[in-house]
Amino acid sequence: MKIGVLGAGSWGVALTTLLSGNGHDVTVWSIDKEEVKMLDTEREHKTKLAGVKLDDSVKVTNDIKEAIEGAKLLVFVVPSPFIRSTAKAAAPYVTSEQVLVNVSKGIEEATLMTLTDVIEDEIKGATVGVLSGPSHAEEVGRRMPTTVVAGAKSKEIAELIQDVFMSDFFRVYTSPDVLGIELGGALKNVIALAAGIGDGLGCGDNAKAALITRGIAEITRLGVKMGGQMSTFGGLSGIGDLIVTCASQHSRNRRAGYLMGQGKSYKEAMDEVKMVVEGVYSAKAALALSKKYDVEMPIVEMINKILFEDYDCRECMRLLLTRMKTSESKDFIWDEK
């Protein structure tokens, strides 16, 4: 199958190697001419995914039209703040027969739209699915075992995405819950900032486990209220992605949080990480959604205070621990007999 990959960062390159390894004819596009030149000549992203080589069959281009025309499948893999501009640039060349797959994670701050909604907003009538789960580029690029979930409104499209991406090291499940998959993938980045901050403060494994567990509770409360399925948040794009992003050495969100816990501002942390830290861009949107849907999300609230109100990290941890006493779940009912 001919496939266009829109975005040539670490995740774009990792997926390009996966897809070309599956026998597909892949063209990868980047808006950055220097990045295109490096990938075309070195066949490797020296700064973002060193050691992972592109196959000689892979074409690299700075012309988005070239990547799109004739492709059966288009993979959107630019950072979340650039999804709308990329979709707008792609729109004149996309046909109704093409299937679009979003593999980026985030929520658009200005509109509170998920990224598939953003793509559909810019490319009218497009068929858009999603691929998400615990899948660091550093491991996928090196063919390490990975499992994700493909979501689409129709079973046929979800299974098409499954067939295209699945390999002997990259297992793909299917789901109709596109909204739940996207919310899990976006919101976990905000919780990962908190987990990283805890690490930076030296809080230990107990705090990490608490943030992961209470974090997925927050994500699930909001996701279900918005129309997602509860089982999605207990799956790969929910708790699975949250665990890997909160714990992994590869996680840029955890790393940025760690630096903030060590005393750096979020801007200083992002500069040191040297890649887009999606949790910073999703934090305001997550808080706005919690207010819109009247869902309590104390971890998300504290992350916003740290990022945008100059609150002290240690004080925010104290505030989380000293909140009003409550039961672990609203579903629990005491037997008063």
Is residue 20 domain-shared with residue 126, that is, in the same domain? yes
As a whole number of angstroms, the distance between CA 299 and CA 212 comes to 10
Domain residues for the domain of 240 are: 179-321
Cβ contacts of 303 within 8 Å, gap of 6 or more: 190, 193, 194, 197, 279, 283
**Per-residue pLDDT, 266:** 81
Is residue 16 domain-shared with residue 99, that is, in the same domain? yes
Query: Per the domain annotation, does 217 fall within a domain?
Result: yes
pLDDT tens for 139-165 read: 999 999 999 999 999 999 999 999 999
pLDDT tens for 285-299 read: 999 999 999 999 999
Is residue 145 domain-shared with residue 83, that is, in the same domain? yes
Given a cut of 90, whether residue 278 has pLDDT beyond it is: no
Query: Per the domain annotation, does 14 fall within a domain?
Result: yes
Is residue 239 domain-shared with residue 171, that is, in the same domain? no
Instruction: Please say which residue of 116, 146, 176 terminates a domain.
Output: 176
Tokens of 237: 């794009």
Is residue 191 domain-shared with residue 84, that is, in the same domain? no
Query: Per the domain annotation, does 110 fall within a domain?
Result: yes
Q: Is 155 a catalytic residue?
A: no
Given a cut of 80, whether residue 275 has pLDDT beyond it is: no
Provide the 10 A C-beta neighbour count for residue 163: 12
The active-site residue out of 59, 65, 72, 188 is: 188
Considering its fold, how many domains does the chain have in total? 2
Q: Give 300's Cβ-side CA count (13 Å radius).
A: 28
As a whole number of angstroms, the distance between CA 19 and CA 3 comes to 8
Is residue 51 domain-shared with residue 127, that is, in the same domain? yes
Query: Per the domain annotation, does 128 fall within a domain?
Result: yes
Query: Per the domain annotation, does 224 fall within a domain?
Result: yes
Is residue 163 domain-shared with residue 15, that is, in the same domain? yes
As a whole number of angstroms, the distance between CA 49 and CA 60 comes to 16
Is residue 164 domain-shared with residue 256, that is, in the same domain? no
CATH number at residue 10: 3.40.50.720
Is residue 234 domain-shared with residue 313, that is, in the same domain? yes
Query: Per the domain annotation, does 335 fall within a domain?
Result: no
CATH number at residue 296: 1.10.1040.10
In 3-state terms, the chain is what percent helix, strand and coil (to 5)? 55, 15, 35
**Per-residue pLDDT, 243:** 97
Cβ contacts of 97 within 8 Å, gap of 6 or more: 72
- Considering the entire predicted model, what is its pTM? 0.94
